[in-house]
Amino acid sequence: MTTQTHIAVENPATGEVIGHVDDMTAQEVGELARRARAAQPGWEAMGFDGRARILKRMQRWLTDNADKVITTICAETGKAYEDAQIAELSYGAAAFGFWADKAPKYLADERIRSSAIFVKGKRLVLRYRPVGVVGVIGPWNYPLTNSFGDCIPALAAGNSVILKPSEITPLTSLLLAEGLAECGLPDDVFAVATGCGPTGAAVLDEVDMIMFTGSTATGRKVAMRAAERLIPASLELGGKDPMIVLADANIERAANHAAYYSMFNCGQTCISIERCYVEAPVYDDFVARVTEKVRAIRQGVPAGPGSIDVGSLTFPPQVDTVERHVDEARDRGATVLTGGHRGPDKGYWYEPTVLVGVDHDMACMREETFGPTLPIMKVADAEEAIRMANDSEYGLSAAVFSRDLKRGEAVARRLNAGAVTVNDALINYTALELPMGGAKPGSGVGHRHGPGGIRKYCRQQSLLISRFNPRRDIHMHPYKATRTRLLGRLLAILNRGVS
C-alpha cells in the first residue's frame, strides 16, 4: 500500500516555502528501479556516440537555461549567485562535455600482455561494462555538483541512474531531470527519488552500485548496507581541511585564499578551509589581513549577480553546530575577532567569523563545522603545522602556502589528505582529469573524477581469445589436442631457454 506524503522545500535565506515534493515510499522506489532496469540495455546499446550526443545537448541546455538553474539553486540553498554560477552551473556544463568526450577513452578495451607461457599468442582483453542501475545519494550543499554531478559519468558509462537528492534541496535535481528529458534521454534511464533518509535507504536496496556523498555517520550506514547486499559503494564523506601558511609565503595571497575559501558557499563545502596553521613570524600579519577581509564580506539574501558575497546556511541544524563550535571555543579562552553571532530570525544565518587562540581540544579544530568560520592557530614551525594538520579523523583536502615551491611540495607530500594544493585551494576540483577523494576512512572510500571516476560505475570483464587451428584441432580427441598443444608450447619455451 502506498502512503505517500509530501515534503515542503524552504528557501533557507528567507524561511519561505518554495515548493513541495513527494516523500517516496520503498514501493515507489522499487517501481523506479524496475523501470530503470528495463531501460538500461537500450541506453547501453546506444554506444558512446549515441549517449554523447544527448550529454552534449544537455551541456548546451544548461548554458541556455543558466538563469533558471542558478535561481533554483539559490532559492533552495540560500547561496550567493556567484557560488551557484561558479561552483555548480559551470561545473555541470563542463562535466557533461568532459564525460561525453572521455568515456570512450577511459572505458576503451585494454589489450593485456601476459608473461604466462600458456597464453602466448592469445588475445587478452580487459573491458568495462556498466553495472546496470546506479544509485546516487547526495547532500544539500551542492545540489548540482555533488548530487547530480555524480550521475553524469554513471550515465556516460551506459547505466541507468536513480538519484536521491537531499530532502532539503530536491528542486534542482527535478529541474535537471526535465532538462535531460528535453534533450532526448530515453524514458526511465534517469529518475529522481525525492524523499528523506528512508527513501535513500530504499534506493540502496534496489541498485547495483551506490555512490554516496554526505556525512561520515550516514556514510557508515550506507557502507554497512552495501556490504550486506555485496554491492560496490563509493563514499565521499566529511572533511576538516587544514591550510598551512609557512613564514616565506606571500601573505596577501594566503590571506585572500583563507578568507575566500573558508567562507565560499557560507563554509558549506567539503573541501573548504576549515582550520589554519600559521608559522609564528607571519602570524600577526596574516591574522590582521584575514580579519579585515572577512569583516568586509557582504552577507545577505541572494538577489542576483553581485548582490552579496555570502548567503545563508542551507541546512537549519547547521546554525546550531556552528554556534556550538564558536561558543565552546570562546568559553575555553579563544577570541572572536569578527562575527560570532547567529543572524536574524528569518532564515538560517551565522556571521562570517574569525577565531584565534584556539587549540586541538576544541570542537572547532576537530569536528567538521561546515559553516562560515575560520579558526587560526599559531605554530612554531612547519613540523608542528604538519603534525596538527594530520591530527584528524578526516583527510579530504589541504592547502600549503610558501614561496619556495620545493618546500611547499615537500610539506604537501607529508599531509594525509586525498588532495593537496600549494599556493591555491579548491580549484583542483575543476580539473576533472584529477582524481578527488578521501585519504582516511572519515573522508570516504573511493574517488570521483579521473579514469577511476567512471570505471567505478562498471564491472570488469576479462576476455581470452584463442585462435582456431583447423589442422590441429578438428581431427583430434579434444583432451589430446589440448595436451599436445600445451606440451608443444612448453617444449618450445624450454628449447629457447637452452639455445
Active-site amino acid positions: 236, 270
Residues 426-465 that bind ligand NDP (CB under 6 A): 444
Comparing C-alpha atoms, which of 154, 144, 4, 163 is closest to residue 74? 144
Residues 88-147 that bind ligand NDP (CB under 6 A): 137-141, 146
Smallest gap from residue 220 Cβ to ligand NDP (A): 10
Task: Give residue for cell 611540495.
Answer: 409
214 binds ligand NDP (CB under 6 A): yes
Contact 395, 416 (CB under 8 A): yes
Contact 157, 458 (CB under 8 A): yes
Using CB under 6 A, which of the segments 8-16, 163-171, 226-234, 350-358 binds ligand NDP?
A: 163-171
Judged by CB under 6 A, which of 396, 400, 415, 422 binds ligand NDP?
396
414 burial via Cβ count (<10 Å: 0-12, 13-18, 19+): middle
Q: Compare residues 244 and 396 and give the one whose CB is closer to ligand NDP.
A: 396
CA 359 remoteness from chain centre = 29
Smallest gap from residue 99 Cβ to ligand NDP (A): 17
Comparing C-alpha atoms, which of 347, 461, 329 is closest to residue 15? 347
- How far is it, in rounded angstroms, from Cα 344 to Cα 484? 86
372 binds ligand NDP (CB under 6 A): no
Tell me how many residues contact ligand NDP (CB under 6 A). Answer: 31
- How far is it, in rounded angstroms, from Cα 170 to Cα 194? 7
204 binds ligand NDP (CB under 6 A): yes
Smallest gap from residue 24 Cβ to ligand NDP (A): 11
Cβ neighbours of residue 373 closer than 8 Å, sequence gap 6 or more? 262, 267, 322, 325, 326, 339, 350, 352, 353, 354, 355, 364
173 binds ligand NDP (CB under 6 A): no
Residues 288-317 that bind ligand NDP (CB under 6 A): 315
Judged by CB under 6 A, which of 274, 368, 417, 432 binds ligand NDP?
368
Smallest gap from residue 223 Cβ to ligand NDP (A): 10
Residues 329-348 that bind ligand NDP (CB under 6 A): none
Question: What is the grid cell recorded at 116?
Answer: 604466462
Q: Compare residues 137 and 209 and give the one whose CB is closer to ligand NDP.
A: 137
Q: Compare residues 134 and 168 and give the one whose CB is closer to ligand NDP.
A: 168
H helix intervals, 46-170: 47-64, 66-77, 81-84, 90-106, 151-156
Residues 228-267 that bind ligand NDP (CB under 6 A): 236-239
